A and B are shown apart, each in its own frame.
Chain A
Amino acid sequence: MSDTPDSGLVQLLTPEGERVEHPDFSFPGDDEMIAGFLRDMVIARRIDSEGTALQRQGQLGLWASMTGQEAAQVGSGRAAKKQDYVVPSYRETAVAWVRGLDPVALSAVFRGVDLGAWAGNDGNFHPYTMVVGSQALHAVGYAMGITADGATATGNPDTDEAVLAFFGDGATSQGDVNEALVFSSSFQSPIVFLCQNNQWAISVPTTRQSRIPIARRADGFGMPGIRVDGNDVLASFAVTSWALDRARAGEGPAFIEAFTYRMGAHTTSDDPTKYRLNAELESWKLKDPIERVRAYLRRSGSVAASFFDDLAAQADDVAADFRSRTLALADPLLEDSFDLVHAEATEHIIEQKAAYIDYASSFEEE
């Protein structure tokens, strides 16, 4: 594998929307499935732009846009089966969508009404963490638990479980991520690491995190590392399916680098014009993950002409609903926080809560 930035990428659908062959990977689905991917990507992008708009209007404190990364997220997210456990970072809007999470659960976090209370939802979607890289170790521990439970490598792919863990290119510099790779490899845990290399960690380019393509690091940890065109939803699906199947079959962890691009700002609080050139964005627009699927479906003629307009209307509906329910979110009560500190309450906190309620209610009477 040579070291140019985009060398060795698995690709099954070109930016022009042409299907291409790859010696090791192929897309197993039909055009209906591809149309479903497009639906996911279009809706997720629409939710994302609504999130950004809500932040601009002062309704969210922050929003971490994933526009540009839809294919990496939908392809990999759809490759996870119902029984798999998905561990996101903080930018996985489209993954959350395909796991069936209500997007308002995400906006609640960015509006400051909730810290991630969707845990336990039946989409097996772990809460966000804002600490870059921490979640990789939790994901491995969960996978170790799957092994300990004998819930994988039974030979039944319909029930065998695995973990799919997300993080960014910047996160690969963190000790926690490196330790996660060590643990997973030592214990041959059923986990797939999905690194979305969106080229930037806030203002710092990937080259400051790694001098070689990030996927090549996997070799040193003793697991396969695959680079996939992260703007190609078919390839992202095919590669992640392969890695998850392997993990479920007891063949150990794998590392996928989805080579993609974050088209917007890092979050709504930064200004990308300070650190990157517009020409870069323009060149990536030509590789837009959504446009290539649209082009393919148009050419294949497998969807009705009205499909695209209907989809746009459907995405607008989802966004309108997302907006109105986000705006209707009730603020939390600080007094509930006291009950949430421990599983088994302590006297001290119970007393402090009582004192707080007493104090707060003294104002209401005034």
Chain B
Amino acid sequence: MAETLTLGKALNAGLRKALESDPKVILAGEDIGKLGGVFRITEGLQATFGEDRVIDSPLAESGIVGTAIGMAMRGYRPVVEIQFDGFVFPAYDQIVTQLAKIHHRTRGQLKVPVVVRIPYGGGIGAVEHHSESPEAYFAHTTGLKVVTCANANDAYWMIQQVIASDDPYIFLEPKRRYHDRGEVDTESEPLTLHAARVAREGSDLTLLCYGPMVKTCLQVADAAAEEGRSLEVVDLRTLSPIDMATVVTSVHRTSRAVVVHEAQVSYGIGAELAARLSEQCFYDMEAPVLRVGGYDVPYPPSRVEEEYLPDLDRILDAVDRSFAY
């Protein structure tokens, strides 16, 4: 059955499904109960599943993640919400020193199937710490898997897939796309979790992107098509692990790649992709991998965020530079 949902409502439906199908699934986080979360992603879930399964947490991120780890050790599948990207850091210690390492430390004796949901990214005119893209911190930590959805169908399925997995996940939600509508196919088999997806086929250059930038890159491909350039758009979906097979296949064909993300350009996912592509596709490529990202400045006051965030012009400019080689 296919229906049209916003990305936010698709997440809600996916969470509802997960709560229905497994009594061990528990949601926790600040304001997720009566209020349904500040973005209303958990709206109505407490009313259906009760206060013991949809828990309003004390205002303590380290506590939220730390107790989720303990619940997971006891056989539960906690899915916790961090209210905004910039507030994950009080929990960073628990995520990086504990959550990521317990399986390895215990030689696989303990599994910690915790999902940490984080609305991330900018473009919503918010105050400080409400617009950040912290994905590289987590992707840099072995033991964590880091994924992000870019459309409603992926939102619906990927949230269920990460909850079903025995590994800890960082699940990044592109908050400025929460209201975008898309088709959700609730019946056919979804893509496997760690597969990248060719969101648009093209032959001249590959745009590598994820989360909030997928929509932007699709618009770039439209604009480029008008100038007679055929851009392929690959939505990574998973940042750790990266589906290099799909990436390499694409770049092998197009021979050019531009990576686009909102996070600051230095030391980020783009750097990882550029390094891997230079190892795996060096002889196939007509140009170096170029990166378009946030500048290496703290996320700016929101009145200038549109200049900070990659937009059509900046991405097209990088495309031009790639073709100029």
Contacts and interface: CB of A to CB of B under 8 A. Distances in A.
Interface string A15-59: 000000000000000000000000000000000000000000000
A130 B296 contact: no
A59 to B, nearest CB: 11
B30 A202 contact: yes
Interface string A199-220: 0011110001100000000000
A112 B58 contact: no
B59 A356 contact: no
B120 interface: no
Interface residues of B, number: 41
B317 interface: yes
B63 A112 contact: no
A85 interface: no
A343 interface: no
B307 A360 contact: yes
A115 B130 contact: no
A174 B60 contact: yes
Contacts, number: 122
Contacts of A348: 266, 296
Interface string A106-136: 0001111111100000000000011111000
A302 interface: no
A340 B297 contact: yes
Contact of A359 (B56, B86, B314): B314
Contacts of A359: 314, 317
A61 interface: yes
Interface string B277-305: 00000000000000000011110111111
Nearest to B61: A174
B38 A275 contact: no
B190 interface: no
B307 A131 contact: no
B186 interface: no
A115 B300 CA distance: 8
A207 to B, nearest CB: 10
A338 B307 CA distance: 13
B34 A131 contact: no
Contact of B304 (A201, A204, A333): A333
Interface string B9-43: 00000000000000000000011011110100000
Contacts of A334: 295, 297, 300, 304, 307-308
A108 B60 CA distance: 28
Contact of A112 (B90, B297, B302, B314): B302
B127 A332 contact: no
Interface of B: 30-31, 33-36, 38, 56-63, 86-87, 89-90, 125-130, 266, 295-298, 300-305, 307-308, 313-314, 317
Given A204-B59, A337-B298, 6 more contacts: A114-B301, A130-B130, A131-B89, A201-B59, A348-B266, A352-B296
